Chains A and B, each alone.
Chain A
Amino acid sequence: MREITATVLENKPIARGVYSLTFACGTEIKARPGQFAMIGVRGFPLRRPLAICKSEGERFTVCYRVKGEGTGCLAADYKIGEKLSVLLPLGNGFYAGENEKKIALVGGGAGIFPLISAIREYSPDREVYAYMGFRSREDLCMEYELRRAKSLTIATDDGSEGFCGTAVEAFAKDLKEVAPDVVFACGPTPMLRALKAKAGGKIPIYVSLEERMGCGIGACLVCVCNKTDGKHARVCKDGPVFEIGDVSL
């Protein structure tokens, strides 16, 4: 966990309203798949928690959707060479056990970004089956990275590309045949609920949650989620990845 003044190497649109931001940390930093970074935007008191898509030595790539003023400034103002305030790597990340050879990834919308880091980590020596959902063809991005998986199913809500339907529906269709040892998922809460309904209890499923954050390191208790045991967990520090049965969705 490091507080870094990074340098922007690239910040470009990759799909409708979605940007990819690559920066150099000036020092090599190791990150696990599923970990995230807090990215500062000048003039904004809160940093933006963004999933790490790629980490290569000192170079990191995060992707973000332009939603409000903060991400708007991030897209408009941070050109090559700009300094960027970054805290990383944060959170627990995805872990596949040694015997978990077949990994299914189920992602929707911005939820595909942390899963890209899992594809990069596990594709070389595991069988990775990726099910990635987008609203439409215009939203499709990072296809080059997604293709590293042994099998890739792209799903769109409107059927303009690949499977017509959600990533969970595409995954459920293959579930018996593929029989994954473990599932990693990230996406909107309704998607995660649907996943829990289809496959919960049958195989280990780890979900990465999203929540509005303050410090990003577990100190301020802003980004809690409800656990099924009635307690709270900190999404930033205890997560963002949780076993699907441990959290209330």
Chain B
Amino acid sequence: MVDLSVKICGVELKNPVIPASGTFGFGREFAEIYDISCLGAVATKGLTLEERLGNPVPRIAESRGVILNAVGLQNPGVEHFIREDLEWLKARTRVIANVAGKTLSDYEAICARLDGLVDLIELNISCPNVKCGGMAFGIRPESVKEVTRIAKSALKKTPLIVKLSPNVESIARNAAAAEEGGADCLSLINTLTGMAIDVETRRPVLFNNTGGVSGAGLKPIALRMVYEASRAVSLPVIGMGGICRGVDAVEFLMAGASAVQVGTRNFADALACPKILEELRAWCDSHGIRKVSELTGTLRPNGG
């Protein structure tokens, strides 16, 4: 029987399967369907210092093999999360608090607030940076490094994951920039920016016009980026993008990930995470893998 436990920045997860931020709330709704203590961790809905109402609807659209979303970070604010949900979630599994902000000082303040309260912090740097003319913090390597440095400076206890945007020139360069800024771990990929159009109304389906593309159709891109990023740094990497089955998770581990996140698949199958976990276990057992962490980065590239 395979040992599924993994260690990320000194934090032991009982297994490497984690529902991705934004698809799982704070875990309460899925806990009505299954016991979420089977999960390695939960990445929370993106938190901001103050409550946010998010974008007008429609916030979701479907395209072939993928979905698009533009929720706009609706969340009740970090204080509400700490008061209402944190203890409940901590009693069940490891907590990865996904955090976002409009300014560098927002990131600094929210990290300082959550330091020591959660197991890991995941920095969402895909939000527009007001000072950078609306361009996301996560696009230019210099700003990736800067926002990472500021966030890290606020953290004394909790390790920092930087969640990389795929909408960039070089994922390897941005991965290295996060490492230089002091990141303890990387997670990728966040959504790719896209559009869906209703030809009858000649309007984009999403009120926001554009949105983040995610789902099974993204898996090859995500795998390539996890592969490139993990080779560019000496940090642990959490891989995600289109994982639907246990064998998809195996691919991400081989490409260089130490753990995986499952997002969009939770919508097609509420039991996606436990099923992927069981499939991963079965795959390891049938392939003689004794410790799942042995799979990480074992890809054998051609010509290498």
Binding site for B on A (CB under 8 A): 1-3, 40, 43-47, 70, 85, 87, 211-225, 231-232, 237
Q: Flag if B23 contacts A215 (CB, 8 Å).
A: yes
Q: Flag if B62 contacts A232 (CB, 8 Å).
A: no
Expressed in whole angstroms, the minimum distance between the Cβ of B215 and any Cβ of chain A is: 5
Q: Flag if B69 contacts A215 (CB, 8 Å).
A: no
Q: Decide if the interface of chain B is mainly helix, strand, loop or mixed.
A: loop
* Interface residue ranges of B178-217 to A (CB < 8 Å): 215-216
Q: Flag if A45 contacts B271 (CB, 8 Å).
A: no
Kindly state the separation between the CA atoms of A133 and B239 in the bound complex, as whole angstroms: 50
Q: Which residues of chain A are within 8 angstroms of B69 by Cβ–Cβ distance?
A: 214, 220, 222
Q: List 5 A-B contacts (CB under 8 A).
A: A45-B215, A217-B29, A220-B69, A222-B60, A231-B53
Expressed in whole angstroms, the minimum distance between the Cβ of B246 and any Cβ of chain A is: 17
Q: Flag if A47 contacts B29 (CB, 8 Å).
A: no
Q: Which residues of chain A are within 8 angstroms of B266 by Cβ–Cβ distance?
A: 215, 219
Q: Flag if B23 contacts A219 (CB, 8 Å).
A: yes
Q: Which residues of chain A are within 8 angstroms of B82 by Cβ–Cβ distance?
A: none
Taking a contact as CB atoms closer than 8 A, the residue among A2, A3, A70, A220 that contacts B25 in the complex is A220
Expressed in whole angstroms, the minimum distance between the Cβ of A39 and any Cβ of chain B is: 11
Taking a contact as CB atoms closer than 8 A, the residue among A2, A232, A237 that contacts B74 in the complex is A232
B71 at the A/B interface (Cβ < 8 Å)? yes
Q: Which residues of chain A are within 8 angstroms of B34 by Cβ–Cβ distance?
A: 3
Q: Flag if A46 contacts B59 (CB, 8 Å).
A: no
Q: Which residues of chain A are within 8 angstroms of B59 by Cβ–Cβ distance?
A: 212, 214, 221-224
Q: Flag if B269 contacts A40 (CB, 8 Å).
A: yes
B247 at the A/B interface (Cβ < 8 Å)? no
Expressed in whole angstroms, the minimum distance between the Cβ of B206 and any Cβ of chain A is: 9
* Interface residue ranges of B52-107 to A (CB < 8 Å): 53-54, 57-62, 65-67, 69, 71, 74-75
Expressed in whole angstroms, the minimum distance between the Cβ of B204 and any Cβ of chain A is: 13
Q: Which residues of chain A are within 8 angstroms of B264 by Cβ–Cβ distance?
A: 45
Q: Which residues of chain B are within 8 angstroms of A43 by Cβ–Cβ distance?
A: 65
Contacts A1-B32, A219-B29, A232-B74 given: A85-B269 contact, CB under 8 Å? yes
Contacts A212-B61, A221-B54, A222-B60 given: A45-B23 contact, CB under 8 Å? no
Q: Flag if B61 contacts A219 (CB, 8 Å).
A: no
Taking a contact as CB atoms closer than 8 A, the residue among A45, A85, A223 that contacts B216 in the complex is A45
Known: A3-B269, A214-B67, A219-B23. 6 other contacts (CB 8 A): A40-B269, A45-B216, A212-B57, A213-B60, A214-B60, A220-B25
Q: Flag if B267 contacts A46 (CB, 8 Å).
A: yes
Kindly state the separation between the CA atoms of A214 and B24 in the bound complex, as whole angstroms: 11
